Amino acid sequence: MRYLYYPGCSLKGTGRAYEESMLAVFQALDVLVEELPDWNCCGATAYMAVDELKAFALAARNLALAERMDTDTPPADLIAPCNACYLVLNKAQRYITENESIGNKIHTALAAGDMTYSGGVHVRHPLDILLHDIGVERIKTAVKKPLEGMRVACYYGCQIVRPYATFDDQYNPTSMNQLMWALGAETVDWPLKTRCCGGSLTGTIEELGHRLSFILVKEAINRGANIIATSCPLCHFNLECYQKQWQTRYHDDAHMAVAYFTQIMGMAFGIEEKRLGMRRLFVPPAYIAAVS
Amino acid sequence: MPISSENNGKIPRIGVYICHCGLNIASVVNTQQVAEFARGLPHVVIARENKFMCSDPGQDMIQDDICEHKLNRIVVASCSPLLHERTFRKTAQDAGLNPFYFQMANIREHVSWVTLDNALGTDKAKALVAAAVQRVQSHEALDSQQSPVNPAVLIVGGGIAGIFAALVIADAGRKVYLVEREPTIGGHMAMFDKTFPTLDCSACILTPKMSDVKNHPNIVLWTYSEVEEVKGYAGQFKIKVKRKPRYVKEDDCVGCMLCVEACVFKKPRFADEFNLGFSFRKPIYMPFPQATPPIVLIDPNQCIQLTKGKCKRSCMNVCEKNAIDFSMKETFEEIEVGAIILATGYQTFDPRRIPQYGYGKYEDVYTSLEMERFTNAAGPTQGKIVRRNGETPKSVGIIHCVGSRDKKNHSYCSRVCCMYSLKLAHLIKERTGAEIYNFYIDMRTPGKGYDEFYDRLLDEKIHFIRGRVAEVTDWARRPEEEGKLVLRVEDTLVGIARRIPVDMVVLSVGLEAREDADEIRRQFNISCSHDGWFTERHPKLAPVSTTTDGIFLAGTCQGPKDIPDTVAQAGAAACEALSMIDKGFVQLEPNTAHIEENRCSGCRVCIALCPFSAITPSENGLTSTVNEALCKGCGTCVAACPSGAAQQRLFTDEQIYQEIEGLLSYV
Amino acid sequence: MDFRKAKRKIKYESELDSHFAKEIVEKAGCEDLFHCIQCGTCGGACPISAYMDYTPRRIVAMTREGLKQDVLESYSIWLCASCYSCAVECPKQIKITDIMYALKQKAIEEGRYPRRFPVTVLAREFFKSVFAKGRNNEGILMTKVLLKTNPLKIFKQALLGLKLWRQGRIGLHSDVIQNRDELRKILSALD
């Protein structure tokens, strides 16, 4: 199996651990992943607000690049690990192919840069690839250290199942839970698994953004979890990096390990910490190792 | 009225009439231009327009012209032939013309209702008129036949609609076969405790009717039975009914229940369907105490004698009437009826399809139908409203429009939910004193005494929160929410989001077409809407008829409705059936097939295909002949005949080619 | 209670903009604006409605009725975090998130937003960075936003920034794509 990989800006920055651990996990499962050359920003949520067409054009350039690549089995599968990139690329794909007026404008714009896009790329999330292409059985065979005692709150965030639930249930997604079970971990029943983490509001309207992510962590603790697994760099940042600030802000302790689901998989596969980006986490890896 | 004597001549003299249908047609089609165009067509003697061709003045106009201008062919360009073909044929006939010298062009459903473009609409109307004018020239004078009507009626479904229709027809002295799939009649109404808005006891008004059905000399009641096959046509239907084995002889059982007592299963342990699984029964059981017929049956998947062939058979031993018979097999009954009434009812929406309401996940989330059973004195809790843990709820949320007014589920309003939610709110308040919150989108109480009932509920200080609940969750944000179900909703009248903790949630589920409605639709050859509800012939003027003659609709199989409306419709359906029976005959379309002997090669393809066995080889075996008394005009042989020898009256090749030619000559 | 704060709330027809709704409904994803039955599912589902001056439902109603000024100057539209809960749960399948986007674009187009409002500053800075480099550097972006909105907060977040820098999660080096010209041509073609 071979896939194209679209990192997006965050996986080269705050979400580096996600990139590192994901690549390590795919390698352990003998899956070839090739980074899309010269990719650009996906268009992201903030851009949409300013100019939707340009946001679609940004996404379209990436899709066109992917389509141009020589892949084993067209249509190309493009992995987008960041939830926001995943949504924006998918949304652009839909609007370009389904809305004639937008499609025409984007095709004209691409032509200005000597590019074409015929709509053949399939944008996919690593959760989808791991569960449906590789499968739980294959993953089980790679487990070297079953994660007994780990009680995971699987956090999907908003944008992988909303608005386009293509690979999992919109209201009660379970793909990450299934992966965690395959690793020998337990998952907790946590009704907030698709509730918004606050997105970029934590950086703009702090009071509001922080509360959204704070209540997620708080409830995960109430539900008996000892770690939160994430699938998006922004969610991860919001849940992880402000924990200390919450103490002063809310006079309430909401301290909990937060790791990318790929890091947790890597741990179960026995991949060394360095390759999983463990040292880039706020909560010490030793602590995470201790709970498992 | 003057009658024309010399207008059946060979040279066509055609009158064309363009209807405005008020503004229905005239707002899109330039009728004046169409009339002008028609005047220029060959053999057209006169072309006129009128605001309503189907009105008396419109018809008079045609008749006067027939006499004055010696017209011998009539074309009316108006609505669908389904609506008024009969009207205009009769108009022609009354003026002395053979009624089949008539052709209709549909410029409403096919033109003005499907476009807003005046020029295109007018163009198409002209083309259709040209086609009709050319076709009508090749029409022939035909005689229509009559067919007698069998005076018995089949009613499918024994809910309140089927029961009421059966009693009306039986009281009129006609025979009724009432076929019900379940072991008892009564339907959903038998499950309710009270009916809105009068709060009279559902059972008290229904069960007497149920026993009337059972005891009526003119009603044959077959419960636990299904229609297996439908053949024939209006007036002469042949029906095959499958009777499933109860393993209890219906004529012998007296419903003493000794067998149930004696069953080797000492404790009831199988989910009781009538109580929606909230209580238990034995493999041998009576669905509920007032079941009609009041006899027991055995569930073949649970009784160990029937599954394993090994049991003490204590039920059999205790039965003094020897009514139990484990060797019983399904049997079939064949009957002939003149008319059919479908009263197959509805099913409730499964709220698992809206997972955010937590049905199936949180134990104190119930459907409204389940709540009906809880409020019922004969229900699983003897009328007590309690949570799963046995406590009386202190607060209850009732969510309206579950599955209704929702594009992802049913976009229609289910019509009954607002009222039954008010009823449940009242009953729960009365029995528990709990705080009741109704969450509604719009309150719909249009019925006699309905809005007054709403006023009464307001007076009872029930909360009415205008807002569709987004989510039911057990996620507590505040101490008062701990251990509760929290409803998150926008109070749209106040304009703010709210979180309301309650002990119990009732989901007011909508009504939907039964799962197998489509199968039934095919079996009876009627049509249904995309929602699965059976379609009436006309929403206003033929609300209980279907597009198949002799088949009528009653109750919720046609669409959501409450008990009063259901009963009214059942009465109407019964009267339509009686009217047909009393007339004694149905007029048949003279659209039978015949075989032109000189073109027939005797290949006999038609014989094998004819669904009515109307075609036989001729005496010398070289050709085939149609017995036109048996032919129903389905056209199968005409389409199949390789040499074009099979022809159908009203649809001869010549007529169809002429119609096409007329159409193309315009284009 | 201060009665002097009583404010006239009535709307006269002449104060409404009858073209506003027509403009919005034309935008991609906003086709179903007029199908709204005001049930409030969006307001109930929205994790942020508690903070909004008008719930999403009211925004839809106000847009439809032409209360252009009130809509474009409300901060509700800027609070939307694009979680799509409203759009997914709407019984009429109205893409409310896309309507929010359309309104944000309209507000920016007409310059009707607070200058130092972080959400719009973020949007603009993000836009500039991507246009210039093709990619975005989160650390630089957040620093710029803080500088332009509330410079004092930089000190507050300095510790966090330092920590992230040590972990290799933020840096001052910006990634730049190769074919910047190609990208600019594509974007400029849409002007």
* Mean pLDDT of the B15-24 span: 96
Which residues of chain C lie closer than 8 angstroms to B442, CB-CB? 37
Q: What pLDDT does B160 receive?
A: 98
Check the CA dihedral B110-B115-B118-B120 and report its sign. Answer: negative
What integer pLDDT is reported at residue B320 of this predicted model?
Answer: 94
Q: Which residue in the set C37, C55, C85 is minimally distant from B490, CB to CB?
A: C55
pLDDT tens, position by position, B76-128: 999 999 889 999 999 999 999 999 999 999 999 999 999 999 999 999 999 99
**Is the predicted pLDDT of residue B6 greater than 50, yes or no?**
no
Residue B428 in tokens? 């729960």
Residue A273, classified by CB atoms within 10 Å of its CB into exposed (0-12), middle (13-18) or buried (19+), is middle
Stretch B610-626: mean pLDDT: 89
Q: Are B226 and B241 in contact (CB under 8 A)?
A: yes
Quote the CA–CA distance of A205 and C149 in Å, as a whole number. 11
Give the C-alpha separation, B528 to B534, whole Å: 4
Q: How far apart are CA B70 and CA B66, in angstroms?
A: 5
Q: Answer yes or no: do C44 and B497 touch at CB < 8 A.
A: yes
Q: Which residue of A has its CA nearest to B355?
A: A171
**Which of B401, B407, B488 lies at the smallest CB-CB distance from C44?**
B488
Q: Give the pLDDT mean for C163-167.
A: 88
* Sequence-separated (6 or more) residues with CB below 8 Å from residue C107: C72, C73, C77, C113
Task: Compute the average pLDDT of residues B379-398.
Answer: 96
Residues 6 or more apart whose CB falls under 8 angstroms from that of C127 comprise A46, A47, A50, A51, A54
Query: Does the distance separating the beta carbons of B473 and A171 come in below 8 Å?
Result: no
How do residues C14-66 score in pLDDT, each as one tens digit? 999 999 999 999 998 999 999 999 999 999 999 999 999 999 999 999 999 99
Percent of chain A scoring above 90 in pLDDT: 77
Whole-number Cα distances in Å, A95 to A56, B630, C98, C183: 8, 59, 12, 20
Nearest CA to B532 out of B511, B550, B548 is that of: B511
**pLDDT averaged over every residue in chain B:** 95
Peptide bond into A163 cis (omega under 30): yes
- Residues of chain B in contact with residue C62, where contact means CB-CB under 8 angstroms, are none
Q: What is the pLDDT of residues B600-614, one digit of tens each?
A: 999 999 999 998 889
Closest CA–CA distance from residue B242 to any residue of chain A (Å): 42
Region B308-313: mean pLDDT is: 93
Q: Quick one: pLDDT band at residue A286, thresholds 50, 70, 90?
A: low
- C95: tokens are 């893409």
- The pair of three-digit structure tokens given for residue C12, joined into one six-digit string: 């006269």
All residues of chain C having their beta carbon less than 8 Å from the beta carbon of residue B495 are 54-55, 58
* Closest approach of A222 to chain B, Cα-based (Å): 10
CB contact under 8 A, C130 and A40: yes
Q: How far apart are CA B576 and CA B582, in angstroms?
A: 10
Residue B194 main-chain phi, psi, to 5 deg: -120, 160
Q: Does the distance separating the beta carbons of A191 and B474 come in below 8 Å?
A: yes
Which pLDDT score, from 0 to 100, does residue B155 have? 98
Name subunits touching B (3+ CB pairs < 8 A): A, C
B472-524 pLDDT per residue, tens:
999 999 999 999 999 999 999 999 999 999 999 999 999 999 999 999 999 99
User: The pTM is what?
Assistant: 0.90
Neighbours of C125 (CB within 10 A): 20
Whether B498 and B491 have beta carbons less than 8 Å apart is answered as yes
Q: Which residue from A258, A264, A235 is spatially nearest to A84, judged by alpha carbons?
A: A235
C89 contacts on B by Cβ (under 8 Å): 356, 470
Query: Contact at 8 Å (CB) between B332 and B241?
Result: yes
- Tell me which chain B residues have a C-beta less than 8 angstroms from the C-beta of A215: 477
pLDDT tens-digit series, residues A249-277:
998 888 899 999 999 999 999 999 999 99
- Give the pLDDT score at A70: 64
A219 closest CB neighbour out of B355, B356, B475: B475
pLDDT digits (tens, 9 = 90+) for B229-248: 999 889 999 999 999 999 99
Mind listing the pLDDT tens digit for each residue in B259-305?
A: 999 999 999 999 999 999 999 999 999 999 999 999 999 999 999 99
Nearest CA in chain A to C90: A163
Please tell me if residue B492 touches chain C, with a CB cutoff of 8 Å: yes
Name the residue among B296, B405, B361, B346 with its Cα closest to residue B191: B346
**Cα dihedral B354, B360, B362, B368 in deg (nearest 10):** 70
Interface of C with A in 9-68 (CB under 8 A): 27-29, 47-48, 51
Across the range A76-104, mean pLDDT stands at 93
Overall average pLDDT of the A96-113 stretch: 94
Of B224 and A70, the one with more pLDDT: B224
Give the minimum alpha-carbon distance from C88 to chain A in angstroms, rounded to a whole number: 6
Q: What is the 3-state secondary structure (H, E, C) of B113-138?
A: CCCCCHHHHHHHHHHHHHHHHHHHCC
- Over residues C147-168, the mean pLDDT reads 84
- For residue A2, pLDDT beyond 50: yes
Q: How many CB pairs under 8 A join A and B?
A: 10
Residues of B in contact with C46 (CB under 8 A): 497
Band (A75; pLDDT cuts 50, 70, 90): low
C89/B466 CB distance under 8 A:
no
Helix (H/G/I), strand (E/B), else coil: B155:
strand
Question: Tokens 């990719």 correspond to what residue?
Answer: A39
B307 touches chain A (CB under 8 A): no
Q: How far is C108 from chain B (nearest CA, A)?
A: 26
Chain C nearest-CA distance from B419, in A, is: 18
Q: What is the distance in angstroms between the Cα of B517 and the nearest Cα belonging to chain A? A: 29
Is B475 in contact with A171 (Cβ distance < 8 A)?
Answer: no
A282 — pLDDT class (breaks 50, 70, 90): confident
Parallel, antiparallel or unpaired: strands B339-342 and B153-156: parallel
Tokens of A142: 């790679």
User: In 10 A of CB A47, how many CB atoms?
Assistant: 24
Residue B8 confidence (pLDDT) above 70:
no
Question: What average pLDDT does the segment B361-382 reach?
Answer: 96
pLDDT at B2: 43
CB contact under 8 A, B468 and C41: yes
Helix, strand, or coil here: B12?
A: coil
Chains touching A (3+ CB pairs < 8 Å): B, C
Joined together, the tokens standing for residue A235 give 């969610």
* Tens-digit pLDDT profile for residues A138-196: 999 999 999 988 999 999 999 999 998 889 999 999 999 999 999 999 999 999 999 99
Q: Number of Cβ pairs closer than 8 Å across B and C?
A: 66
- Residue B1 has a pLDDT of 42
Task: Please give the sequence-ordered ranges of beta strands (E in DSSP) within B324-482, or none if there are none.
Answer: 331-337, 339-342, 346-348, 365-367, 395-402, 435-440, 463-466, 471-473
Is the pLDDT at B398 greater than 80, yes or no?
yes
One-letter amino acid at A214 equals: F
> Is residue B45 over pLDDT 70?
yes
pLDDT tens for A211-221 read 999 999 999 99
* Average pLDDT over all residues of chain C: 90
Any chain C CB within 8 A of the CB of B468? yes
* Contact check, Cβ <8 Å, A115/C190: no
Prior bond of B197 cis (ω within 30°): yes
Q: Let me know: does B624 contact B607? Beta carbons within 8 Å.
A: yes
The amino acid at A70: D
Strand intervals (E) in B55-212 = 73-78, 102-106, 146-148, 153-156, 176-179, 194-195, 200-201
Bridge partners, A5 (sequence order): A35, A79
